[in-house]
Chain A
Amino acid sequence: SQQGEEDPQALSIQEGENATMNCSYKTSINNLQWYRQNSGRGLVHLILIRSNEREKHSGRLRVTLDTSKKSSSLLITASRAADTASYFCATAVVYGGATNKLIFGTGTLLAVQP
């Protein structure tokens, strides 16, 4: 089964509003990452938060991590129509030795209305 589960599955907001997406996972992790995917395109890495970190910022993005609840949230402030995309969380676990395996959730589809 998927390690990460995003909530909500889909989100529609007006331009300028904030968008919050949540991710829950099941096992211990080394880090958690958020990715963005425009329709039919590859994934773009947004931000990585390590298991010993609680909050991280990058521009209009704010990510929190609560390892006790096995959950993370991605906040996009002052959203723009160009933010319309699918957003995935991925948890990194040790796999086959030293390699970090990324386990992806099913994603949140964000639509920002102009």
Chain B
Amino acid sequence: DGGITQSPKYLFRKEGQNVTLSCEQNLNHDAMYWYRQDPGQGLRLIYYSQIVNDFQKGDIAEGYSVSREKKESFPLTVTSAQKNPTAFYLCASSTPQGPLFGPGTRLTVL
């Protein structure tokens, strides 16, 4: 089955710790995206990558970092510099009709 997977579904971390969220796709899509969603809010773009070894900041990149060493993988690291990291994180890859979203990771920082 082709698709986008994110792991884990729920993640708990202590304040001050870095944490990496996984996003994998086997759809052979070039472009991948990370969005953040807060309760009752729409999605905000954190980072995006159009091709391997290239990525660009979105609207709210501060406190986050990414890598794109493989086409299939676009991991997001939430660093201790992110002031309000507790949120729902959604990864997506592109189709001609628009982004196809993964199931999301809910990160809670205690």
Chain A residues proximal to chain B, CB less than 8 Å: 2, 4, 31, 33, 35, 40-45, 48, 88, 90, 92, 96-107
Interface contact A43-B90, CB-CB below 8 Å: yes
Flag B88-101 by CB within 8 Å of A: 1 or 0 each.
10101000011111
* Cα distance, A107 to B102, chains bound together (Å): 19
Residues of B bordering A, CB below 8 Å = 6, 31, 33, 35, 40-45, 48, 50, 56, 58, 88, 90, 92, 97-104, 106
Whole-angstrom distance between the Cβ of A65 and the nearest chain B Cβ:
15
Nearest opposing residue in chain A for B106, CB measure: A40
Chain B interface main SS type: strand
Choice from B41, B98, B101 contacting A48 with Cβ under 8 Å: B98
A104 lies within 8 A of B44 (CB): yes
Asked if A102 contacts B102 (CB within 8 A), the reply is no
Chain B residue at minimal CB-CB distance from A88: B42
Which residues of B are found within 8 Å of A90, using beta-carbon distances? Answer: 42-43, 98
* Contacts known (A42-B90, A43-B90); A102 close to B99, Cβ less than 8 A: yes
CA gap between A40 and B104 in the complex, in Å: 8
Which B residues are in CB contact (< 8 Å) with A99?
31, 48, 50, 56
Are A4 and B42 in contact, CB atoms less than 8 angstroms apart? yes
Q: Do the beta carbons of A92 and B98 come within 8 Å of each other? A: yes
Task: Collect the chain B residues with CB atoms within 8 Å of residue A33's CB.
Answer: 97-98
Expressed in whole angstroms, the Cα–Cα distance for A35 and B15 within the complex equals 33
- Give A105 Cβ to nearest chain B Cβ, in Å: 5
Complexed CA–CA distance, A99 and B33 (Å): 11
A97 to B55, CA, bound (A): 12
Alpha-carbon distance between A35 and B42 when the two chains are bound, in angstroms: 11
Provide the residues of chain A in CB contact with B45, threshold 8 Å: 101-103
A42 near B31 with CB under 8 A, answer: no
Cα-based distance from A111 to B101 in the complex (angstroms): 23
Partner of B103, one of A41, A105, A107: A41
Complex Cα gap A101–B59 (Å) = 10
Q: How far is the CB of A8 from chain B (nearest CB, A)?
A: 13
Q: Which residues of A contact B101 (CB under 8 A)?
A: 35, 42-45
